[in-house]
Amino acid sequence: MKDDEGRGAMAMEGVRELRTRTMFRAPGAQVNGLEAVPEGLWLCDQQDNRAYLIDYDGATLTSFPGPVRNASGISFGAGVVWTAANVPTTTIYRHDPATGHCLAAVVLRGGGGVHGIQWRPYETEEALPVVADAAPELHPSAPGGKPHGEPGSCGTLWVTRPGARTIEHIDAETSDLLGTIPFPTKRSHGMFWDEADGSLCVADTNTGDILRLDARDGAIRERWHIAGPEVHGLTRSADGRIWIADAATNEILVVEG
């Protein structure tokens, strides 16, 4: 059995082995995030720090730069593109998808970096963070900055924090922590949400495993293994295909089962 630092060849009992097929190269220098949408795939590149939208044949539809550095994770939701910067201070930016204009930034609290993000709406049973009572303006003639919106106005984000071995669930407007689940190994990366059972499928780049986690407590429901490519970005398109971004080769692959 392999440990959490290696990519040993021996399959673990009960682990489903998956094969992949290379589809095309990413348009930038080093792809490091992936999100499927009806039009195609949003990518982020950790060298040129651009966001790209490509169709499912690999043709670039649009791209734009942003303030993100060492881009590590991209998602789409609430009508905007979200990109994560894996540098101190760890920050998630949101962009107008048509113009690339940066609309806001959310600074993550605590340590652990960020390697992947996944936007989600609030579930019906989820409580919004409590809004603190507004304090009087310190200088009424020069009002201080105000939040862009109230908690809940932009949905939520799931965020992998590899240095802390956790996955955080935060309000996407305020970064208020909604919940935390553990991750068993050291290099959580891309992920996608499974609507069928409300689980998170999260890649471990070091081991080549994809873990299907219970989003309530982090319990491992299923484990898959992908030999060969380094799984950095991970997403699933509406047709059920699982897509992988490999930062080591700058290739986009699809899982074939």
pLDDT one-digit tens code per residue, 62-91: 999 999 999 999 999 999 999 999 999 899
Distance in angstroms (rounded) separating the CA atoms of residues 154 and 122: 9
- Is pLDDT at 251 greater than 80 in this prediction? yes
pLDDT score at 247: 96
- Range name among 2-16, 80-94, 232-246 with the lowest pLDDT average: 2-16
pLDDT score at 11: 38
**How confident is the model over 87-139, as pLDDT tens digits?**
998 999 999 999 999 999 999 988 899 999 999 999 878 888 777 666 777 77
Please tell me the pTM assigned to this model: 0.89
Task: Using a pLDDT cut of 90, give the percent of the chain over it.
Answer: 78
Mean pLDDT of the chain, nearest integer: 90
**Domains in the chain and their CATH numbers?**
16-122+152-255 (2.120.10.30)
Task: Using a pLDDT cut of 70, give the percent of the chain over it.
Answer: 91
**Neighbour-count burial of 58, counting CB atoms closer than 10 A to its CB (0-12 exposed, 13-18 middle, 19+ buried):** middle
